[in-house]
Amino acid sequence: MQDKTYTLTQHFTEIGAEKLESLVMEKVGEKVSDLVFFIHGFNYFGAWESLFFGNGITEEGWTPVFISQPGFGYSSVSRDYCGPKTYDSIAKAIEEVSAKYNIPSKKRIVWGVSRGAIVTSLLSSKYPNLAAGFICQSGCYDFKKDFERPDKNPEIKKNVIEETNGASEEALKERSVVNFVSNIAKPVLILHGKDDVTFNVDQAYLFIQALEKEGKQYESKIVDGEHQIGVLVRKQFVFPFIKKIFTDSK
């Protein structure tokens, strides 16, 4: 295998008196042209725990940018479980990093996993022109319905209640992209494991139904597996989707 050398640049976006962390992985000697923004799930080290995705992305000729969600990694912004503070902060970070490299929205993809998929789905509706495509892997799209599941993991419910200050009806609805699908303007790829117990596969079908009802452009793949399906879907579905989006945007 050819030896590759990369530089890792840490970037901070100011959110009031707080900051949001991004890590840009550049291949030495090559110009940054296409950005793939990766938004992690629940892990304390945030972007730093996602770096293993980088080699595959750079091998395709794209530049990965890993964002630490509020309260994770070195992001000091307080958590609000995928709410407005989270997606507004991440949208600002995406714009800042893109401006640094002079990359237009047609040369950007946002890819989120688990908790990050919730954020990505909301970005696709709240900031429909932020990127040329959005990838939602193992996420939750009717937040209220998922929260009210009788078999919902109690630790996750506890986190939701704490981070949303009580999990009010309004808070649950504003984190549910199914309520905002009409605003989506770019292609969405939905990936889910059929045996996922963290976010039931029904969540993927709810999102698909909402997209179909509004006549939105999307692709979906329900695969064998549980919540962690990265190895199953990366090269088979994620990378072809990204390649198609970037090719069509030339």
pLDDT digits (tens, 9 = 90+) for 182-194: 999 999 999 999 9
Q: Specify whether the CB–CB gap between 180 and 122 falls below 8 A.
A: yes
Tell me how far CA of residue 77 lies from CA of 47, 67, 124, 159, 180, in angstroms. Answer: 14, 12, 21, 16, 25
Contact 124, 134 (CB under 8 A): yes
Task: Please report the pLDDT score of residue 244 as a whole number.
Answer: 96
Is the entire prediction scored with pTM above 0.85? yes
Residues of the chain with pLDDT under 50: 1-3
Could you read off the pLDDT of 53-72 as tens digits, one per residue?
888 899 899 999 999 999 99
All structural domains of the chain: 6-248 (3.40.50.1820)
pLDDT in tens, 76-113: 999 999 999 999 999 999 999 999 999 999 999 999 99
